[in-house]
Amino acid sequence: MNKIQPSSGSAHFRSQTRLGRRHRALIAAIGAAVLILGTLLIGLLLSPDNLSTRLEWRNLPPSLQHPFGTDWLGRDMFTRTLKGLALSVQVGLIAAACSVVIATALGLIAATMGRTADRIVAWLIDLFLSVPHLVTLILIAFVCGGGMRGIVIGVALTHWPSLARVIRAEVLQLRSAEFVQISRRLGQSRWQVATRHMLPHLLPQLLVGLLLLFPHAILHEAGVTFIGLGLSPHQPAIGIILSESMRYLSTGMWWLAVFPGLCLLIVVRAFDRAGESLRLLLDPRNPQS
């Protein structure tokens, strides 16, 4: 009896610890989602009147009226920053969703269309992973003429390989499952097996992959826009704001770069935290769950 009680108590302690970690992960995911949605809604609902030029308000430091100060044209930096974040979230959502679609399609093709297709997809994954995707992103954005279209195409075509490798491995495991083998013996085609039986099992990985691609998409959009190959200078993008502020930092206008940079970092960190928490919640086999 003395040997059983410690074992039972230890199992109970591990169960309580696992439950506590899952609760913390759920709270973190909800908090990150509220922060992201709040930033997006505020950015979309703010009046664009504060983006108009008002020379009498130019170069004002942070105050109650202008929490993030104003720039050299008198534009409210709080409004510019939140609208820039909302624009970045939209671009990141579209680009990350396109990457997930590409990764899903290639992962399913590699695992269901035979060895030749698998070798071609594996070669493509290794090829894209061997080149720094920021360089490839800049080249694609330049070829596509920049702008939102160039950024979305560039991010979508450079951020799929890692997720495609994960999807391919998951599908290879599912291919040997009993329900998949039975479906094949009943005469269902490879496409029907992949879409009806395998794809539903991949939805948690796809959702987590979408959230984890978001931070990379937003940061790379800001980076490419910063060097002038991204969004239009007329749009209040974070990359444009940071690029323009570099000319005024030496004059003491530190708020032009500090607040937009911090907000970008917070949003990116919130997306990353939401993705990690969701992966912990959806994967019961995780040793940390």
- Supply the CATH number for residue 56's domain: 1.10.3720.10
Instruction: Look at residue 21 in the predicted model and tell me its pLDDT.
Output: 67
- Structural domain boundaries, residue 146: 18-282
Instruction: Look at residue 3 in the predicted model and tell me its pLDDT.
Output: 45
Q: Within a domain: residue 64?
A: yes
Instruction: Look at residue 19 in the predicted model and tell me its pLDDT.
Output: 53
More confident residue, 50 or 268: 268
Instruction: Look at residue 117 in the predicted model and tell me its pLDDT.
Output: 85
Q: How far apart are CA 145 and CA 224, in angstroms?
A: 12
For residue 277, pLDDT beyond 60: yes
Tokens 């796809």 belong to residue: 206
Contacts 24+ apart (CB under 8 A), 236-239: 236/51, 236/79, 236/80, 236/81, 236/83, 236/84, 236/87, 237/84, 237/87, 237/88, 238/81, 238/84, 238/85, 238/87, 238/88, 238/263, 238/264
* Close Cβ partners of 152 (under 8 Å, ≥ 6 residues apart): 91, 94, 95, 98
For residue 6, pLDDT beyond 50: no
Q: Within a domain: residue 11?
A: no
Q: Within a domain: residue 13?
A: no
Domain count, the chain: 1
Q: Within a domain: residue 216?
A: yes
Instruction: Look at residue 282 in the predicted model and tell me its pLDDT.
Output: 67
Q: Within a domain: residue 9?
A: no
Q: Within a domain: residue 184?
A: yes
* Exposed / middle / buried, residue 118 (Cβ in 10 Å: 0-12, 13-18, 19+): middle
Q: Within a domain: residue 2?
A: no
For residue 284, pLDDT beyond 60: no
Strand ranges in the chain using DSSP code E only, listed in sequence order: none
